[in-house]
Structure 1
Amino acid sequence: MANNSNIEWTESTWNPVTGCTKVSAGCQNCYAEKLANRLYAMGVKNYINKFELTIHKEALNIPMKWRKPRMIFVNSMSDLFHEDIPLEFLKRIFNVMNECSQHTFQILTKRSENMLKLSSKLKLTDNIWLGVTVENNASLYRISDLLKTNSKIKFVSFEPLLTSLPDLDTNGLDWAIVGGESGYNARPMKEEWVIDIKNRCLNSNTAFFFKQWGGANKKKNGRLLQGRTWNAMPEYALSI
């Protein structure tokens, strides 16, 4: 339930919960759902329920076994603020993150309302970064919810970026990740949308990370934007 990751902006993934349900347009071609079904077909026991939400108590203490500091994407195969995750189990997950101060934990959610509601009941140590996924202009409200939390580092993943974001305000954000959808049915992302986000980030001193163009052949399409790679991270990450 944990492994080294090929995701460009993290080092490892940790999944004390797997499975999810779709809540918005960004979920349409969910990579995690496809992977879960593939792992089920391979007979991987943790995916016996395919992509139904499943709690894995046996995975709780995995980060405690890692002594060397690392960036850890929490619940890459689910949404940590899914409404069906019991609060008591969520608190146990946060307790592990609180105790593992050597690691940085990155949490992304599309359920920003639930994140905001529960954040006051959870201990947000500085090594826990809260983030939201924003795929279109209609989901920008998630950033407003994020900014109301007490997370030390607040970040946004604009992936898959499906539209332009004329109403985007990056002030108050520490980090922005942008990426296009990948896979056979990938929806296109326009360069001008990405450049607009990049420029807004530069103006607000928000670290900008361009992950990928995506598409049916994401490796071929690469991750160069205007002739270069953009790998900025929050300044806090450079000091840990």
Structure 2
Amino acid sequence: MTKISWTDETWNPATGCDRVSPGCDRCYAITSARIRAGNPHPKVAEAYAGTTQRTEAGLDWTGTVNLIEERLEIPLHWRKPRRVFVNSMSDLFHAQVPSEFIAKVFAVMALTPRHTYQVLTKRHARMRSLLNNEAFERQVLVWAHRLKDDAHEPSWNPGERRFTTWPLPNCWLGVSVENQRWADTRIPALLDTPASVRFISAEPLLGPVDLTAWMPPISPVPASGAPESWADWTWPGWVPADVRTAVENFWSEDQGRSPAHWIRNMHEQGAPAFGATLSMDDGFGQNPPQIVGRYVHAWNNIGRLVLDGDEDREFAYTSFSRADRSRARGIDWVIVGGESGPGARAMHPQWARNVRDQCVAADVPLHFKQWGSWGPAPFIVRVCAPDVGWQGTAEELAAAKADSEARGATHVHTGNWYEEDGERHYWLHEIGHKPWSLERVGLPAGMEPIRRWGVYAAGRELDGQVWDGFPEVAHA
């Protein structure tokens, strides 16, 4: 079992790693590996031997990766279905892991379709290269034959040279995204990788991330922001007049409907994103031809494809399935979390909220794992300059102390500065001490008050709600 909220079990057929990006800087696995290397049980100690080292800068990986063959078949003996995080103490696509060993890991996944495997990597390029390689797929098939146990139903046809279901439907592939730079680098590679479910882990989230390029909103505006009348609605210029008329007539006030009803229908039906460029059915009936266009929702599972550069017609009639929606979206699941442990870097609450809002707009399930060591403070205390002390009332001071003690905060207040009328103002950091700006941990101006609670006290609620989303469907 594991304390990771988005999985049931960890499976580590390989251990050891090295750092490749800022998200690795305070990797929990380094300390865990160091502790386990000193475990009195010889097999545990051997599994982690040589993977860590003490340097002038502190504890670090050595770059050595240990391959633990005897752990490969562990999932074959788990009878109860479970979600399995693969290589939580390493990276399956690390350069020191041979492709043959990776093929063995995938063979075990193929032999255990009752389990769901979650593979998370920062080595996006190698993942893309291997899983697009037919030779690697055949290698997985060979090892699946060798490992096959008659008690386990395979998800492949032994008489074929290739899997009948590839990518494996029970293998979710994800990339770590700690800031926009690494989102822009890793997510395109993930989308180029065959996968039944694609996900991202924005943990630790170290900066604002815009995912809308890969998770476009289902509707042009939220239903709550839609006007009551079409007279107050503004269509994008690329939507043809005939398409506008058809939508407005069906969702007209005469029918007891409105733009808000139209938008809600998009979300209820699981429509592709408004304006997404897709290859979809041209018309209805059996085996309609495919055509490329920009999607506009009509009603239920019916839409219009706006054609670009077609002299004969402006749009086509089409219908959609969940597979069309997935292709428009790209990302099936998002995990968000802040960093914990000594020296943890703080996550701006608005960064988490922005990702949440993007997920809600795109109908992508969100799993908010944790705030980490830092979390939002429930109120703001402002001071006029760094050398000015507490300026609240005695009652506010008592309430601040009581709240802090009740939740175990190690600091009463933290904050940042803001500009007003050309003057810089500060939010108080710690009662009885000189105020301190969170610029030290790289947070931007406009930071709202946060505190160093500790991971358990900070909790998992985002604006009063626990987000425990999981993907529901796989790509076709």
Per the shorter chain, which TM-score range?
A: over 0.9
Equivalents in 2 of 1:49, 1:35: separation in Å?
13
Question: What does residue range 59-98 of structure 1 map to in structure 2 within 5 Å?
Answer: 59-98=71-110
Name the aligned partner's letter for residue 6 of structure 2: W
Equivalents in 1 of 2:212, 2:26: separation in Å?
24
Query: Mean alpha-carbon deviation: is it higher for 226-235 or for 160-169?
Result: 160-169
2:198 to 137, 144, 154: 154
Per the alignment, residue 42 of structure 1 pairs with 39
Question: How much has 1:203 moved relative to structure 2?
Answer: 1.3
Question: What does residue range 189-204 of structure 1 map to in structure 2 within 5 Å?
Answer: 189-204=347-362
RMSD: 1.4
Per the alignment, residue 164 of structure 1 pairs with 208
| 3-state SS of paired residue (1:182) | coil
CA gap of 1:167–1:73, structure 2 versus 1, over 3 A, is: closer
Name the aligned partner's letter for residue 118 of structure 1: L
8 Å CA contact 1:157–1:178 kept in 2: the answer is yes
1:33 and 2:30 matched: yes
Query: Mean alpha-carbon deviation: is it higher for 165-174 or for 197-206?
Result: 165-174
Query: Mean alpha-carbon deviation: is it higher for 15-24 or for 38-47?
Result: 38-47
Instruction: Tell me the alpha carbon deviations over residues 33-83 of structure 1, each in whole angstroms, 9 at most, x when there is no partner.
Output: 110001112343221223431100010000000011000000000000101
Question: How much has 1:32 moved relative to structure 2?
Answer: 0.5
8 Å CA contact 1:178–1:212 kept in 2: the answer is yes
Structure 2: stretches of 5+ with no match in the other structure: 53-63, 138-165, 216-328, 374-451
Equivalents in 2 of 1:50, 1:125: separation in Å?
31
| 3-state SS of paired residue (1:139) | helix
Equivalents in 2 of 1:106, 1:96: separation in Å?
13
8 Å CA contact 2:93–2:127 kept in 1: the answer is yes
8 Å CA contact 2:211–2:358 kept in 1: the answer is no
Name the aligned partner's letter for residue 127 of structure 1: N
Per the alignment, residue 472 of structure 2 pairs with 235
Query: Mean alpha-carbon deviation: is it higher for 218-227 or for 117-126?
Result: 117-126
1:144 and 2:141 matched: no
Q: Percent identity?
A: 43
1:218 and 2:215 matched: no
Equivalents in 1 of 2:12, 2:39: separation in Å?
18
Equivalents in 2 of 1:134, 1:96: separation in Å?
27
- Across the two proteins, how many residue pairs are aligned to each other? 234
Instruction: Tell me the alpha carbon deviations over residues 154-197 of structure 1, each in whole angstroms, 9 at most, x when there is no partner.
Output: 00000000001146533311000000011011000011000110
Equivalents in 2 of 1:117, 1:150: separation in Å?
10
Name the aligned partner's letter for residue 180 of structure 1: G
2:178 to 118, 122, 135: 135
Name the aligned partner's letter for residue 48 of structure 2: Y
Name the aligned partner's letter for residue 106 of structure 1: Q
8 Å CA contact 1:98–1:124 kept in 2: the answer is no
| 3-state SS of paired residue (1:154) | strand
| 3-state SS of paired residue (2:473) | helix
Structure 1: stretches of 5+ with no match in the other structure: none
8 Å CA contact 2:211–2:355 kept in 1: the answer is no
Per the alignment, residue 321 of structure 2 pairs with none
1:18 and 2:15 matched: yes
Question: What does residue range 113-124 of structure 1 map to in structure 2 within 5 Å?
Answer: 113-120=125-132, 121-122=136-137, 124=167
Question: What does residue range 174-189 of structure 1 map to in structure 2 within 5 Å?
Answer: 174-189=332-347
Name the aligned partner's letter for residue 14 of structure 2: V
Instruction: Tell me the alpha carbon deviations over residues 14-37 of structure 1, each in whole angstroms, 9 at most, x when there is no partner.
Output: 000000010000000010111000
- Give the TM-score normalised by the residue count of structure 2: 0.48
Name the aligned partner's letter for residue 89 of structure 1: F
The structure, 1 or 2, with the larger RCO (C-alpha pairs under 8 Å, 6+ apart) is: 1
| 3-state SS of paired residue (2:463) | coil
8 Å CA contact 2:365–2:469 kept in 1: the answer is yes
- Give the TM-score normalised by the residue count of structure 1: 0.94
| 3-state SS of paired residue (1:236) | coil
Per the alignment, residue 102 of structure 1 pairs with 114
Equivalents in 2 of 1:165, 1:157: separation in Å?
12
| 3-state SS of paired residue (2:4) | coil
